Structure 1
Amino acid sequence: MAGTPGSHSASFWAIIKITFPSSADSFSPGRPAVDEILQLFTHTGDGVWAVDADHRIVLWSPVAEEILGYAGEEALGQLCYELLAGHDLEGRPFCHARCSVMEHARRGEPVRSFDLLAHGRDGSVHHVNVSILAVPQESAPEKPIALVHLFRRVGSSSPGPPPLRIYLLGDTMVQRASGSIVGGPLWRRAKVRALLAYLSLQRGQAVHRNALIDALWPDLEYPAALHNLNTTVYNLRRSLEPTLKRGADSSYIHYEGDCYSLNSGPVHWLDAVVFETDIMLARREADPVRAAALYREALALYRGDFMSDLLGHDIRWCWMERERLRELYLAALEELGELLEQQGQEEEASRLYLKALAVDACRETACRRLMRLAMRRGDRAAAVAHYRRLSEALRRELEVVPSQETRLLYEVAMRGG
C-alpha cells in the first residue's frame, strides 16, 4: 500500500474505532482522552501498532500493513509476540509473553527506542526501529492501559532473504524458512560447510577473501587457495539456492570489494549465538529460578561439539572454536548444578556433574562437586569411587595426578570425616 501519510487517515481511524476491547485494563471505545491521544497518530509516516495489557493488537495502521504485509483484519486481536516473532540483532527471541517492554511500562519506567527484526506476512524479516508511547489510564496515569509502538525501517527498504536456522553445535545443519534442510553433494564438502559457519559467525560483517583463505587454506599457495575459495563460494551458493541460475546474484552470499558476507546476517538464527547469549544472561540473572531456566535453554541447544561432522578435517579455527564452546558448555553444566544444589535439587545436580565428566573425564571441579554431594549424603564409597575414576583418567590422558585440593577431599572421604 503506497501513498502519503495523510492518505491513510480514514482507514487508520476506522481500525481504531472497531478494535478497542472493553476490559478495565485495556482500551475502552469512545473514551475521549484515549481517542484524542490516538488521533495524534493519524498523520504519522511511521508504522503504528498498539497492544492492550494482554499483548493483543488493538491498533494496526496502513503504514504497518505497507511495511510488514499484514492487513488490519489479520493483525487485530492477535498476540503481538506470535504475529511478529521479533528477534534482536543477535538473533535472540525478543518478543514473548514476558515482554520486557511491557514490564518496564507497568513499572512506570521509560522505554528507549530499540531495533527489532520483525517477521512479515510473506516470511521475510524486516529490520525496524521501534519507539514506545504508553497510553495512561485517567484514574491512574502511572499505569498504562495500552502501549503504542511507532516503527520505521532501518537501512534498505527491501526485505532481506528468508531467514535460515543454522545449527553448528553438533553436526552442521541448515534449515530454510520453508522447513527444508540444506543438503546435496556440494553441501557435503567440508569446506562448504566451514565457509558458511565462518560467515554466519560474523553476523553480517564482511570478511576479506584473504582472511577466508587464511582460515580455510592456510598452507596453500595463494593462486590455488583463491581458486578453492571461488569454487567453494559457488558450491555454497548452489547448496543454499539450488534453483539459482548461473550468473545470478545469490540472496545469501554477498560479494563486494573483495569481501564476502552472509546477507542479513543478524536475521538468521544461529544456535551457537543463542547458546552463548543464554549463558551470559543466566550469569547476570538475580532470580535463581529464572537463571536456571536460562541455563537449561542454553544446554538444550548443545547437541554436541561445534561442527562435530568436521572433526576429521584440519580446519584450525574450527578446532579453536570447538574447544572454547565445549569449555563454556562444561562450565554451564557446573554453574546450573550449583544453582540446583542451592535449591535442594541435589540429585539433578549430580546428573549434571556426571554429564560434564562424560564429556571431560579429567574435569576435577565436577568430580569434587560429586564427591562433596556423595559425602553429604553419607556415601563415602561413592566419593572414593569418583576420585579413583578421575585419578585414572588423569594418569591415562595427561600423565598427571589430581590436584592437592582434590587429594585432600579424597583423604577426608577415606577418614570418614
Structure 2
Amino acid sequence: MVVDKHPTVSLLGGFTLCVDGAGFAVPMHSRRVLAYLALDKLSEHDCDRGVLAERLWPDAPAERSRASLRTALWRIRRASPSLIVGGNDRVMLADDVTVDVHHLRRDAERLLADAVDCPHERAQLMARNADLLPGWDETWLLLAREQLRQLRLHALEVAGRKLAAKGRYPEAIDVILTVVAEEPLRESAQAALIEAHLCEGNAVEARRQFDRFAEMLWSELSLRPSPELYGRVGTPVRADSNAGRQHADQRRASAGRSR
C-alpha cells in the first residue's frame, strides 16, 4: 500500500491532522492555528502573524498573543516541518497540505461553473454534509461556516436543476431532496423539487410536496409560499392572516386595559 506523504488537515466533522498517513495529535492552540490558516488560504496566499495572533487570542495583550502563536507554531513544526512555511512577518499553510474544505469548495465551484453534469463532484457534495469544526466556539468561524454551507447547498440545487433540464428527473429529484432534507424551508429548493415532479408528470406528488412545504412554512415562520409557487401548482394564493391576528391581539390588549 502506498502511503500519502502529504500532510492532511480535515475540518469537516471535526479536526484531524494526518502526517505520513497516520493521525497526529497536536494541542488545541496548534489546531486553531492550522484551522485558521487552512480557511484563510481560500482567499489569501499567506497571513500576517500579528493579525493571526490577534484573531486567535483577541482578549490577550499583544505580546502574550504573539508568544502563544510562537508556541503553537513550534508545536506544529514538531509534528511536521512541512506543514507551515513563512518568515518573521507572514505565515501560511504549505501548498502541498491537503485540506478537505478546499476539495469541497472546488467541487461546488465546478458544479456551478460547468454547463455539463459533474457526477463525481455532485456525489462528493451529496455525501459531505458534515459541519465545519462542530463544537468550536470561534467568532472567526461563523462566516466561514455559513459561506461553506450556502455554497454547497446552492451548488447541489443548481446541479439538480441542470439534471431536470436534461430530463433526468429521478437523479434531479434525488439531488434536490438532499438540499430539502437539510434546509426544508429553502423555497428555491422546494420549487425546484416541485418543478421536477411536474415535469416528470407527477402532479399529485408535486401538490403533496407543496402542501407539506406550505404547512411547515406557516407553522415555523407564519409565512406563505410565494405567489409564483402557488401558481405553479394551480392553487389560489391564501391570504396572510398575520394582520387579522395582530388586530385581534390589539383588541384583547385594549379590552384588558379598560378593565
Determine the C-alpha separation between the residues in 2 that align with 1:352 and 1:251.
39
Partner of 1:192 in structure 2? 30
Partner of 1:257 in structure 2? 88
Superposed CA deviations along residues 213-237 of structure 1, whole A, max 9, x for unmatched, are 3332334443443344334334434
Task: Return the match for 1:401 from 219, 224, 245.
Answer: 224
Partner of 2:99 in structure 1? 270
Determine the C-alpha separation between the residues in 1 that align with 2:122 and 2:165.
16
Determine the C-alpha separation between the residues in 2 that align with 1:352 and 1:227.
48
Partner of 2:190 in structure 1? 367
Corresponding pairs, count: 234
Output the TM-score relative to the length of structure 2. 0.74
Structure with greater strand share of residues: 1
Question: Displacement of 1:326 after TM fit?
Answer: 0.9
Superposed CA deviations along residues 246-303 of structure 1, whole A, max 9, x for unmatched, are xxxx4433452233222xx2222222223322333344434x2xx3235325526735
Tell me if 1:209 matches 2:49.
Answer: yes
Determine the C-alpha separation between the residues in 1 that align with 2:220 and 2:68.
37
Q: Is the 8 A contact 1:255 1:261 kept in 2?
A: yes
Q: What pairs with 1:57-136 in structure 2 (closer than 5 Å)?
A: none
Partner of 1:293 in structure 2? 119
Q: Is the 8 A contact 2:131 2:145 kept in 1?
A: yes
Determine the C-alpha separation between the residues in 1 that align with 2:89 and 2:24.
26
Task: Return the match for 2:148 from 325, 335, 343.
Answer: 325
Q: Is the 8 A contact 2:111 2:121 kept in 1?
A: yes
Partner of 1:43 in structure 2? none
What residue identity is the alignment partner of 2:31?
Answer: R
Task: Return the match for 1:356 from 174, 179, 183.
Answer: 179
Structure number, greater radius of gyration? 1
Q: Is the 8 A contact 1:192 1:235 kept in 2?
A: yes
1:252/1:402 CA distance change after superposition, 3 Å: same
Determine the C-alpha separation between the residues in 2 that align with 1:208 and 1:335.
37
Tell me if 1:346 matches 2:169.
Answer: yes
Task: Return the match for 1:281 from 110, 120, 136.
Answer: 110
What residue identity is the alignment partner of 1:323?
Answer: E
1:197/1:398 CA distance change after superposition, 3 Å: farther
Q: Is the 8 A contact 2:112 2:159 kept in 1?
A: no
What residue identity is the alignment partner of 2:66?
Answer: L
Question: Displacement of 1:329 after TM fit?
Answer: 0.8
Determine the C-alpha separation between the residues in 2 that align with 1:217 and 1:365.
40
Q: What pairs with 1:156-175 in structure 2 (closer than 5 Å)?
A: 162-175=5-18
Superposed CA deviations along residues 326-345 of structure 1, whole A, max 9, x for unmatched, are 11111111122122223332
Q: Is the 8 A contact 1:371 1:387 kept in 2?
A: yes
Task: Return the match for 1:386 from 196, 201, 209.
Answer: 209
Determine the C-alpha separation between the residues in 2 that align with 1:344 and 1:333.
17
Superposed CA deviations along residues 336-385 of structure 1, whole A, max 9, x for unmatched, are 21222233321121111111011112111110112122334454443233
Determine the C-alpha separation between the residues in 2 that align with 1:397 and 1:234.
49
What residue identity is the alignment partner of 2:11?
Answer: L
Q: Is the 8 A contact 2:126 2:178 kept in 1?
A: no
Q: Could you list the structure 1 runs, at least 4 aligned residues long, displaced by more than 6 angstroms after superposition.
A: none
Unaligned runs of 5+ in 1: 1-120, 124-161, 242-249
Determine the C-alpha separation between the residues in 1 that align with 2:100 and 2:136.
22
1:313/1:414 CA distance change after superposition, 3 Å: same
1:182/1:390 CA distance change after superposition, 3 Å: farther
What residue identity is the alignment partner of 2:46?
Answer: A
Partner of 2:250 in structure 1? none
What residue identity is the alignment partner of 1:269?
Answer: T
Partner of 1:306 in structure 2? 132
Question: Displacement of 1:122 after TM fit?
Answer: 11
1:284/1:361 CA distance change after superposition, 3 Å: closer
Q: Give identity over the alignment, percent.
A: 27
Structure with greater helix share of residues: 2
Determine the C-alpha separation between the residues in 2 that align with 1:374 and 1:414.
20
RMSD (CA atoms): 3.2
Determine the C-alpha separation between the residues in 2 that align with 1:268 and 1:391.
46
SS in 2 for 1:194: helix
Q: Is the 8 A contact 2:7 2:83 kept in 1?
A: no
Determine the C-alpha separation between the residues in 1 that align with 2:7 and 2:163.
35
Determine the C-alpha separation between the residues in 2 that align with 1:214 and 1:386.
49
1:301/1:227 CA distance change after superposition, 3 Å: farther
What residue identity is the alignment partner of 1:166?
Answer: V
Q: Is the 8 A contact 1:206 1:260 kept in 2?
A: yes
SS in 2 for 1:261: strand
Output the TM-score relative to the length of structure 1. 0.49
Q: What pairs with 1:142-161 in structure 2 (closer than 5 Å)?
A: none
